[in-house]
Chains A and B, each alone.
Chain A
Amino acid sequence: MQWLLSFILRYKNLFLYLFFVSIILSFSYFQSEYHKSKIYKASIIASGLASEPLKNLTSYFRLKKINAKLLEENFHLKSLLIDENYKSNYEYEKIDSPYSLILGNVIKNNISSNRNIIIINKGGSDMVEKEMGVIGSDGIIGIVNQTTENFSSVLSILHKDIKINAKHKKTNAFGSLFWEGNDPDKVTLSDISIINKINVGDTIVTGGMSSYFPEGIPIGKIVEFKNNGRYYLINVKLINNMTNLNNVYFLKNKYKSEIESLYK
Protein backbone atom coordinates (compact mmCIF):
# COMPACT_ATOMS: atom_id res chain seq x y z
CA MET A 1 0.00 0.00 0.00
CA GLN A 2 2.86 2.28 0.85
CA TRP A 3 4.48 1.86 -2.53
CA LEU A 4 1.23 2.93 -4.17
CA LEU A 5 1.12 6.04 -2.06
CA SER A 6 4.74 6.87 -2.77
CA PHE A 7 4.14 6.20 -6.47
CA ILE A 8 1.20 8.62 -6.51
CA LEU A 9 3.17 11.23 -4.57
CA ARG A 10 6.12 10.88 -6.86
CA TYR A 11 4.03 11.46 -9.97
CA LYS A 12 1.49 13.78 -8.38
CA ASN A 13 2.06 16.50 -10.99
CA LEU A 14 1.40 14.09 -13.81
CA PHE A 15 -1.75 12.79 -12.13
CA LEU A 16 -2.96 16.31 -11.48
CA TYR A 17 -2.30 17.23 -15.10
CA LEU A 18 -4.17 14.18 -16.40
CA PHE A 19 -7.02 14.91 -14.01
CA PHE A 20 -7.32 18.46 -15.32
CA VAL A 21 -7.10 17.32 -18.92
CA SER A 22 -9.98 14.93 -18.35
CA ILE A 23 -11.98 17.73 -16.73
CA ILE A 24 -11.22 19.98 -19.71
CA LEU A 25 -12.30 17.27 -22.15
CA SER A 26 -15.58 16.79 -20.34
CA PHE A 27 -15.99 20.57 -20.17
CA SER A 28 -15.49 20.75 -23.95
CA TYR A 29 -17.92 17.88 -24.39
CA PHE A 30 -20.71 19.84 -22.76
CA GLN A 31 -19.66 23.27 -23.92
CA SER A 32 -19.26 22.81 -27.66
CA GLU A 33 -21.20 20.60 -30.07
CA TYR A 34 -18.24 20.55 -32.43
CA HIS A 35 -15.84 19.27 -29.77
CA LYS A 36 -18.53 16.91 -28.54
CA SER A 37 -18.78 15.23 -31.94
CA LYS A 38 -14.99 15.12 -32.28
CA ILE A 39 -14.46 13.65 -28.81
CA TYR A 40 -17.28 11.19 -29.38
CA LYS A 41 -15.71 10.09 -32.66
CA ALA A 42 -12.29 9.71 -31.05
CA SER A 43 -13.76 7.72 -28.19
CA ILE A 44 -15.47 5.37 -30.66
CA ILE A 45 -12.18 4.81 -32.49
CA ALA A 46 -10.32 4.27 -29.21
CA SER A 47 -12.87 1.84 -27.84
CA GLY A 48 -12.96 0.03 -31.18
CA LEU A 49 -9.18 -0.31 -31.20
CA ALA A 50 -9.18 -1.52 -27.61
CA SER A 51 -12.10 -3.89 -27.82
CA GLU A 52 -11.24 -5.65 -31.07
CA PRO A 53 -8.13 -7.54 -29.86
CA LEU A 54 -9.98 -8.31 -26.64
CA LYS A 55 -12.95 -9.64 -28.56
CA ASN A 56 -10.69 -11.73 -30.79
CA LEU A 57 -9.08 -13.22 -27.74
CA THR A 58 -12.31 -14.07 -25.95
CA SER A 59 -14.02 -15.32 -29.10
CA TYR A 60 -11.22 -17.86 -29.48
CA PHE A 61 -12.11 -19.34 -26.12
CA ARG A 62 -15.79 -19.36 -26.97
CA LEU A 63 -15.31 -21.20 -30.26
CA LYS A 64 -16.16 -24.59 -28.84
CA LYS A 65 -19.40 -23.32 -27.39
CA ILE A 66 -20.29 -21.54 -30.61
CA ASN A 67 -19.53 -24.67 -32.58
CA ALA A 68 -21.83 -26.75 -30.42
CA LYS A 69 -24.57 -24.19 -30.80
CA LEU A 70 -24.16 -24.10 -34.57
CA LEU A 71 -24.29 -27.89 -34.73
CA GLU A 72 -27.52 -27.83 -32.80
CA GLU A 73 -28.92 -25.21 -35.11
CA ASN A 74 -27.81 -27.16 -38.18
CA PHE A 75 -29.41 -30.26 -36.80
CA HIS A 76 -32.68 -28.45 -36.33
CA LEU A 77 -32.57 -26.91 -39.80
CA LYS A 78 -31.66 -30.20 -41.41
CA SER A 79 -34.64 -31.87 -39.74
CA LEU A 80 -36.89 -29.10 -41.03
CA LEU A 81 -35.43 -29.45 -44.50
CA ILE A 82 -35.96 -33.20 -44.64
CA ASP A 83 -39.48 -32.72 -43.35
CA GLU A 84 -40.31 -30.02 -45.90
CA ASN A 85 -38.70 -31.97 -48.69
CA TYR A 86 -40.79 -34.98 -47.86
CA LYS A 87 -43.99 -32.98 -47.62
CA SER A 88 -43.39 -31.29 -50.97
CA ASN A 89 -43.47 -34.70 -52.66
CA TYR A 90 -47.04 -35.17 -51.52
CA GLU A 91 -48.73 -31.98 -52.48
CA TYR A 92 -52.30 -33.22 -52.28
CA GLU A 93 -52.21 -35.02 -48.95
CA LYS A 94 -50.88 -33.83 -45.66
CA ILE A 95 -48.33 -36.41 -44.63
CA ASP A 96 -45.79 -35.93 -41.88
CA SER A 97 -42.28 -37.05 -42.71
CA PRO A 98 -41.50 -40.48 -41.21
CA TYR A 99 -37.82 -39.49 -40.99
CA SER A 100 -36.13 -38.17 -37.88
CA LEU A 101 -32.45 -37.30 -37.49
CA ILE A 102 -29.72 -38.41 -35.09
CA LEU A 103 -26.55 -36.34 -34.99
CA GLY A 104 -23.23 -38.19 -35.09
CA ASN A 105 -19.55 -37.49 -35.35
CA VAL A 106 -17.14 -39.31 -37.65
CA ILE A 107 -14.25 -40.83 -35.71
CA LYS A 108 -12.69 -42.88 -38.49
CA ASN A 109 -13.00 -42.46 -42.21
CA ASN A 110 -11.27 -44.42 -44.90
CA ILE A 111 -11.14 -43.79 -48.64
CA SER A 112 -8.11 -45.83 -49.64
CA SER A 113 -9.67 -49.24 -50.23
CA ASN A 114 -12.43 -50.53 -52.50
CA ARG A 115 -14.74 -51.16 -49.60
CA ASN A 116 -14.57 -48.14 -47.38
CA ILE A 117 -16.13 -48.02 -43.95
CA ILE A 118 -16.81 -45.02 -41.70
CA ILE A 119 -16.98 -45.35 -37.90
CA ILE A 120 -19.34 -42.96 -36.12
CA ASN A 121 -19.61 -42.24 -32.40
CA LYS A 122 -23.30 -43.12 -32.08
CA GLY A 123 -24.58 -46.65 -31.54
CA GLY A 124 -27.44 -48.73 -30.27
CA SER A 125 -27.82 -46.68 -27.11
CA ASP A 126 -28.52 -43.61 -29.25
CA MET A 127 -31.25 -45.44 -31.21
CA VAL A 128 -28.99 -46.04 -34.20
CA GLU A 129 -30.00 -49.23 -36.01
CA LYS A 130 -28.73 -51.31 -38.86
CA GLU A 131 -29.49 -50.15 -42.40
CA MET A 132 -30.22 -46.56 -41.54
CA GLY A 133 -29.28 -43.96 -44.14
CA VAL A 134 -26.53 -41.48 -43.26
CA ILE A 135 -26.29 -38.00 -44.75
CA GLY A 136 -23.75 -35.22 -44.36
CA SER A 137 -24.07 -31.45 -44.54
CA ASP A 138 -24.51 -31.50 -48.34
CA GLY A 139 -25.53 -34.94 -49.49
CA ILE A 140 -25.59 -38.64 -48.75
CA ILE A 141 -22.75 -40.51 -46.99
CA GLY A 142 -23.75 -44.16 -46.75
CA ILE A 143 -25.77 -46.82 -44.96
CA VAL A 144 -25.31 -48.20 -41.44
CA ASN A 145 -23.82 -51.68 -41.54
CA GLN A 146 -23.33 -52.64 -37.93
CA THR A 147 -23.93 -51.05 -34.56
CA THR A 148 -22.51 -51.62 -31.11
CA GLU A 149 -23.58 -50.00 -27.87
CA ASN A 150 -21.80 -46.71 -28.57
CA PHE A 151 -20.51 -46.90 -32.13
CA SER A 152 -21.71 -47.75 -35.56
CA SER A 153 -20.00 -48.64 -38.81
CA VAL A 154 -21.29 -47.20 -42.03
CA LEU A 155 -20.80 -48.53 -45.52
CA SER A 156 -19.58 -45.42 -47.26
CA ILE A 157 -21.01 -44.45 -50.62
CA LEU A 158 -17.44 -45.23 -51.67
CA HIS A 159 -18.02 -48.96 -51.12
CA LYS A 160 -18.09 -51.26 -54.12
CA ASP A 161 -20.94 -53.39 -52.82
CA ILE A 162 -23.37 -50.59 -52.11
CA LYS A 163 -26.03 -49.59 -54.59
CA ILE A 164 -28.32 -46.66 -54.00
CA ASN A 165 -31.52 -45.77 -55.72
CA ALA A 166 -31.07 -42.36 -57.38
CA LYS A 167 -32.86 -40.25 -59.94
CA HIS A 168 -32.25 -37.49 -62.41
CA LYS A 169 -33.81 -34.47 -60.75
CA LYS A 170 -35.22 -32.82 -63.91
CA THR A 171 -36.81 -35.88 -65.54
CA ASN A 172 -37.39 -38.06 -62.45
CA ALA A 173 -35.77 -41.00 -64.33
CA PHE A 174 -34.61 -43.68 -61.89
CA GLY A 175 -31.32 -45.45 -61.87
CA SER A 176 -28.86 -47.20 -59.67
CA LEU A 177 -25.85 -45.48 -58.15
CA PHE A 178 -22.59 -47.24 -57.34
CA TRP A 179 -18.88 -46.60 -56.95
CA GLU A 180 -16.41 -48.08 -59.38
CA GLY A 181 -13.53 -47.80 -56.95
CA ASN A 182 -11.43 -45.11 -58.62
CA ASP A 183 -11.89 -41.45 -57.69
CA PRO A 184 -13.18 -40.71 -54.19
CA ASP A 185 -15.32 -37.89 -55.59
CA LYS A 186 -16.92 -39.66 -58.54
CA VAL A 187 -19.66 -42.31 -58.64
CA THR A 188 -21.54 -43.91 -61.51
CA LEU A 189 -25.25 -43.88 -62.20
CA SER A 190 -26.56 -46.60 -64.48
CA ASP A 191 -29.91 -47.88 -65.72
CA ILE A 192 -31.34 -44.53 -66.78
CA SER A 193 -33.17 -45.07 -70.01
CA ILE A 194 -31.99 -43.13 -73.10
CA ILE A 195 -35.50 -41.85 -73.73
CA ASN A 196 -34.80 -39.25 -71.04
CA LYS A 197 -32.86 -36.15 -72.03
CA ILE A 198 -29.93 -35.40 -69.73
CA ASN A 199 -27.19 -32.79 -69.74
CA VAL A 200 -23.83 -32.26 -68.10
CA GLY A 201 -24.31 -30.28 -64.86
CA ASP A 202 -27.74 -31.73 -64.05
CA THR A 203 -28.35 -32.73 -60.44
CA ILE A 204 -28.73 -36.29 -59.26
CA VAL A 205 -30.80 -36.81 -56.10
CA THR A 206 -31.91 -39.81 -54.06
CA GLY A 207 -34.86 -41.65 -55.54
CA GLY A 208 -36.94 -42.43 -52.52
CA MET A 209 -37.66 -45.96 -53.76
CA SER A 210 -35.65 -47.41 -50.91
CA SER A 211 -36.45 -46.97 -47.26
CA TYR A 212 -32.92 -45.74 -46.49
CA PHE A 213 -33.18 -42.21 -47.82
CA PRO A 214 -36.10 -39.89 -48.42
CA GLU A 215 -36.59 -38.60 -51.91
CA GLY A 216 -34.70 -35.57 -53.11
CA ILE A 217 -31.49 -35.52 -51.07
CA PRO A 218 -28.73 -34.24 -53.36
CA ILE A 219 -25.98 -36.66 -54.36
CA GLY A 220 -24.00 -34.91 -57.08
CA LYS A 221 -23.85 -33.39 -60.52
CA ILE A 222 -23.39 -35.03 -63.90
CA VAL A 223 -19.83 -34.64 -65.20
CA GLU A 224 -20.11 -36.84 -68.31
CA PHE A 225 -22.39 -39.52 -69.69
CA LYS A 226 -22.21 -42.33 -72.26
CA ASN A 227 -24.97 -43.84 -74.31
CA ASN A 228 -24.84 -47.56 -73.70
CA GLY A 229 -27.46 -48.70 -76.21
CA ARG A 230 -30.58 -48.72 -74.06
CA TYR A 231 -29.25 -47.01 -70.98
CA TYR A 232 -26.97 -44.16 -70.06
CA LEU A 233 -23.82 -44.68 -68.05
CA ILE A 234 -23.47 -41.43 -66.12
CA ASN A 235 -20.43 -40.18 -64.27
CA VAL A 236 -21.52 -38.16 -61.23
CA LYS A 237 -19.35 -35.86 -59.15
CA LEU A 238 -20.32 -36.08 -55.49
CA ILE A 239 -21.43 -32.90 -53.70
CA ASN A 240 -20.11 -34.13 -50.36
CA ASN A 241 -16.38 -34.18 -49.95
CA MET A 242 -15.94 -37.71 -48.61
CA THR A 243 -12.37 -37.06 -47.49
CA ASN A 244 -13.11 -34.54 -44.75
CA LEU A 245 -16.31 -35.69 -43.10
CA ASN A 246 -16.98 -34.49 -39.61
CA ASN A 247 -20.61 -34.22 -38.55
CA VAL A 248 -23.19 -36.57 -40.04
CA TYR A 249 -26.88 -37.32 -39.54
CA PHE A 250 -28.52 -40.73 -39.28
CA LEU A 251 -31.93 -40.92 -40.93
CA LYS A 252 -34.39 -42.92 -38.88
CA ASN A 253 -37.42 -44.07 -40.89
CA LYS A 254 -40.22 -45.09 -38.58
CA TYR A 255 -42.01 -47.13 -41.32
CA LYS A 256 -38.89 -49.00 -42.39
CA SER A 257 -39.72 -52.38 -40.86
CA GLU A 258 -43.27 -52.12 -42.15
CA ILE A 259 -42.12 -51.48 -45.71
CA GLU A 260 -39.50 -54.22 -45.56
CA SER A 261 -42.03 -56.77 -44.34
CA LEU A 262 -43.80 -56.38 -47.68
CA TYR A 263 -40.68 -57.52 -49.57
CA LYS A 264 -40.57 -60.79 -47.68
Chain B
Amino acid sequence: MNQYYPKIFLLSCFLVFLQLLIFDRINLFGFMNPSIYILVLITYRYDMDQFNFILIGFLLGLMMDILSQSAGSHSLSCVTISFIRPLITKFSIGPNYEDFSNPISSGILISNRVLYYLLIIILHQLILNSYSYFNWIHTFTILKLTIANSIFTFVVIISFINLFSAKE
Protein backbone atom coordinates (compact mmCIF):
# COMPACT_ATOMS: atom_id res chain seq x y z
CA MET B 1 0.00 0.00 0.00
CA ASN B 2 2.91 2.31 0.72
CA GLN B 3 4.15 1.81 -2.80
CA TYR B 4 0.91 3.20 -4.13
CA TYR B 5 1.75 6.83 -3.44
CA PRO B 6 5.04 6.91 -5.38
CA LYS B 7 3.14 5.35 -8.25
CA ILE B 8 0.48 8.02 -8.04
CA PHE B 9 3.17 10.67 -7.93
CA LEU B 10 4.88 9.32 -11.03
CA LEU B 11 1.55 8.98 -12.82
CA SER B 12 0.68 12.55 -11.91
CA CYS B 13 3.99 13.91 -13.21
CA PHE B 14 3.66 11.90 -16.39
CA LEU B 15 0.09 13.01 -17.03
CA VAL B 16 0.84 16.66 -16.28
CA PHE B 17 3.70 16.69 -18.76
CA LEU B 18 1.59 14.85 -21.28
CA GLN B 19 -1.15 17.40 -20.73
CA LEU B 20 1.15 20.40 -21.13
CA LEU B 21 3.19 19.09 -24.02
CA ILE B 22 0.48 17.46 -26.10
CA PHE B 23 -3.11 17.84 -24.95
CA ASP B 24 -3.06 21.57 -24.24
CA ARG B 25 -1.91 22.18 -27.81
CA ILE B 26 -4.59 20.24 -29.64
CA ASN B 27 -7.05 23.17 -29.89
CA LEU B 28 -9.63 21.14 -31.75
CA PHE B 29 -12.04 23.57 -33.52
CA GLY B 30 -9.94 26.31 -32.03
CA PHE B 31 -10.92 25.84 -28.41
CA MET B 32 -11.29 22.18 -27.40
CA ASN B 33 -8.57 20.69 -25.18
CA PRO B 34 -9.04 17.54 -23.11
CA SER B 35 -7.92 17.49 -19.48
CA ILE B 36 -6.14 14.20 -19.33
CA TYR B 37 -4.48 14.73 -15.94
CA ILE B 38 -7.73 14.14 -14.05
CA LEU B 39 -7.17 10.48 -14.74
CA VAL B 40 -5.35 10.58 -11.39
CA LEU B 41 -8.53 11.73 -9.67
CA ILE B 42 -10.64 9.14 -11.44
CA THR B 43 -8.38 6.16 -10.81
CA TYR B 44 -7.41 6.83 -7.19
CA ARG B 45 -8.38 3.71 -5.23
CA TYR B 46 -11.47 3.75 -3.05
CA ASP B 47 -9.80 1.96 -0.15
CA MET B 48 -7.14 4.66 0.27
CA ASP B 49 -7.38 7.60 2.63
CA GLN B 50 -9.40 10.60 1.43
CA PHE B 51 -7.24 13.02 3.42
CA ASN B 52 -4.25 12.07 1.27
CA PHE B 53 -6.43 12.19 -1.80
CA ILE B 54 -7.29 15.87 -1.17
CA LEU B 55 -3.59 16.55 -0.71
CA ILE B 56 -2.81 14.80 -4.00
CA GLY B 57 -5.58 16.73 -5.73
CA PHE B 58 -4.17 19.99 -4.51
CA LEU B 59 -0.60 19.18 -5.52
CA LEU B 60 -1.72 17.97 -8.94
CA GLY B 61 -3.72 21.16 -9.55
CA LEU B 62 -0.93 23.35 -8.23
CA MET B 63 1.55 21.66 -10.54
CA MET B 64 -0.77 22.36 -13.48
CA ASP B 65 -1.32 25.94 -12.39
CA ILE B 66 2.34 26.73 -11.99
CA LEU B 67 3.40 25.09 -15.24
CA SER B 68 0.54 26.49 -17.30
CA GLN B 69 0.63 29.88 -15.54
CA SER B 70 -3.06 29.86 -14.71
CA ALA B 71 -4.53 31.59 -11.65
CA GLY B 72 -5.49 28.64 -9.46
CA SER B 73 -8.39 27.27 -11.50
CA HIS B 74 -6.79 23.81 -11.88
CA SER B 75 -6.04 23.62 -8.16
CA LEU B 76 -9.53 24.62 -7.18
CA SER B 77 -11.21 22.16 -9.53
CA CYS B 78 -8.91 19.29 -8.52
CA VAL B 79 -9.25 19.93 -4.78
CA THR B 80 -13.02 20.22 -5.06
CA ILE B 81 -13.29 17.03 -7.08
CA SER B 82 -11.10 15.13 -4.61
CA PHE B 83 -13.21 16.46 -1.74
CA ILE B 84 -16.59 15.56 -3.24
CA ARG B 85 -15.56 12.32 -4.92
CA PRO B 86 -17.18 10.10 -2.22
CA LEU B 87 -20.50 11.80 -2.97
CA ILE B 88 -20.08 11.36 -6.71
CA THR B 89 -19.15 7.73 -6.21
CA LYS B 90 -22.05 7.08 -3.89
CA PHE B 91 -24.40 8.67 -6.40
CA SER B 92 -23.08 6.89 -9.48
CA ILE B 93 -21.99 3.47 -8.18
CA GLY B 94 -24.13 3.10 -5.08
CA PRO B 95 -23.60 3.16 -1.31
CA ASN B 96 -21.54 -0.04 -1.37
CA TYR B 97 -18.88 1.37 -3.67
CA GLU B 98 -16.15 0.48 -1.17
CA ASP B 99 -16.67 -3.16 -2.11
CA PHE B 100 -14.65 -2.32 -5.18
CA SER B 101 -11.21 -1.09 -4.39
CA ASN B 102 -10.44 0.06 -7.90
CA PRO B 103 -12.66 2.58 -9.74
CA ILE B 104 -11.84 1.03 -13.11
CA SER B 105 -12.57 -2.48 -11.92
CA SER B 106 -14.59 -4.46 -14.41
CA GLY B 107 -16.90 -5.61 -11.62
CA ILE B 108 -18.70 -2.24 -11.74
CA LEU B 109 -21.53 -1.94 -14.24
CA ILE B 110 -20.47 -0.12 -17.36
CA SER B 111 -23.33 2.40 -17.05
CA ASN B 112 -22.31 3.23 -13.47
CA ARG B 113 -18.72 3.64 -14.52
CA VAL B 114 -19.66 5.94 -17.38
CA LEU B 115 -21.80 8.02 -15.05
CA TYR B 116 -18.93 8.19 -12.58
CA TYR B 117 -16.44 9.34 -15.24
CA LEU B 118 -18.87 11.82 -16.72
CA LEU B 119 -19.76 13.39 -13.38
CA ILE B 120 -16.13 13.88 -12.45
CA ILE B 121 -15.20 15.24 -15.87
CA ILE B 122 -18.15 17.61 -16.17
CA LEU B 123 -17.81 18.96 -12.62
CA HIS B 124 -14.09 19.42 -13.09
CA GLN B 125 -14.58 21.30 -16.36
CA LEU B 126 -17.37 23.40 -14.91
CA ILE B 127 -15.31 24.52 -11.92
CA LEU B 128 -12.21 25.01 -14.05
CA ASN B 129 -13.92 27.22 -16.63
CA SER B 130 -16.08 29.09 -14.11
CA TYR B 131 -13.08 30.02 -12.05
CA SER B 132 -11.02 30.93 -15.12
CA TYR B 133 -13.65 33.34 -16.43
CA PHE B 134 -15.14 34.27 -13.03
CA ASN B 135 -17.85 36.49 -14.50
CA TRP B 136 -21.58 36.03 -15.12
CA ILE B 137 -21.22 37.73 -18.48
CA HIS B 138 -19.29 34.72 -19.76
CA THR B 139 -21.87 32.12 -18.69
CA PHE B 140 -22.48 31.03 -22.26
CA THR B 141 -18.76 30.63 -22.98
CA ILE B 142 -18.29 28.69 -19.74
CA LEU B 143 -21.13 26.30 -20.63
CA LYS B 144 -19.92 25.88 -24.18
CA LEU B 145 -16.36 25.11 -23.08
CA THR B 146 -17.58 22.81 -20.31
CA ILE B 147 -19.74 20.72 -22.61
CA ALA B 148 -17.26 20.56 -25.50
CA ASN B 149 -14.21 19.86 -23.36
CA SER B 150 -16.10 17.31 -21.25
CA ILE B 151 -17.02 15.29 -24.31
CA PHE B 152 -13.50 15.46 -25.66
CA THR B 153 -11.96 14.60 -22.28
CA PHE B 154 -14.37 11.72 -21.82
CA VAL B 155 -13.43 10.22 -25.15
CA VAL B 156 -9.70 10.55 -24.48
CA ILE B 157 -9.95 9.21 -20.94
CA ILE B 158 -12.04 6.21 -21.97
CA SER B 159 -9.45 5.42 -24.65
CA PHE B 160 -6.65 5.73 -22.11
CA ILE B 161 -8.35 3.47 -19.60
CA ASN B 162 -9.08 0.88 -22.24
CA LEU B 163 -5.52 1.07 -23.46
CA PHE B 164 -4.14 0.33 -19.99
CA SER B 165 -6.79 -2.26 -19.20
CA ALA B 166 -5.90 -4.08 -22.41
CA LYS B 167 -2.31 -4.19 -21.32
CA GLU B 168 -3.17 -5.68 -17.99
Contact = CB atoms under 8 A, between A and B. Distances in A.
A32 B51 CA distance: 29
Contacts of A38: 134-135
B47 to A, nearest CB: 16
A16 B54 contact: yes
Interface in B25-80: 50-51, 54-55, 58, 61-62, 65, 70-72, 75-76, 79-80
Interface residues of B, number: 19
Interface stretch (A22-30, A109-117, A229-237): A22-30
A226 interface: no
B100 interface: no
A34 interface: yes
Give the dominant DSSP class at A's interface: helix
A25 to B, nearest CB: 7
B83 interface: yes
B76 A21 contact: yes
B65 A27 contact: yes
A13 B82 CA distance: 10
A38 B58 CA distance: 22
Interface string A1-25: 0000000000011101100110111
Contacts of A13: 50-51, 54, 83
Nearest to A31: B71
A20 to B, nearest CB: 5
Contacts of A24: 58, 61, 72, 75-76, 79
A35 interface: yes
A25 B54 CA distance: 16
B58 A20 contact: yes
B133 to A, nearest CB: 9
By secondary structure, the B interface counts as: helix
A17 B71 CA distance: 18
Contacts of A35: 71-72, 134
Contacts, number: 50
Nearest to A38: B134
A11 to B, nearest CB: 11
A31 B83 contact: no
B62 to A, nearest CB: 8
Contacts of B83: 13-14, 17
A31 B50 contact: no
A198 to B, nearest CB: 65
Contact of B134 (A16, A20, A21, A34): A34
A32 B69 CA distance: 9
A17 B79 contact: yes
Contacts of B70: 31
B71 A32 contact: yes
A27 B72 CA distance: 6
A21 B79 CA distance: 8
Given A20-B54, A34-B134, A25 B79 contact: no
A22 to B, nearest CB: 11
Interface string A193-212: 00000000000000000000
B51 A12 contact: yes
Contacts of B71: 27-28, 31-32, 34-35
Given A24-B75, A32-B72, 18 more contacts: A13-B83, A16-B54, A17-B54, A20-B54, A20-B58, A21-B76, A23-B75, A24-B58, A24-B72, A24-B76, A27-B62, A27-B65, A27-B71, A27-B75, A28-B131, A31-B65, A32-B71, A35-B71
15 contacts: A13-B50, A14-B83, A16-B54, A17-B79, A17-B83, A20-B75, A20-B79, A23-B58, A24-B72, A25-B72, A28-B72, A31-B65, A34-B134, A38-B134, A38-B135
Q: 6 closest pairs, A vs B, by CB?
A: A32-B71, A28-B72, A17-B83, A24-B72, A28-B71, A31-B71
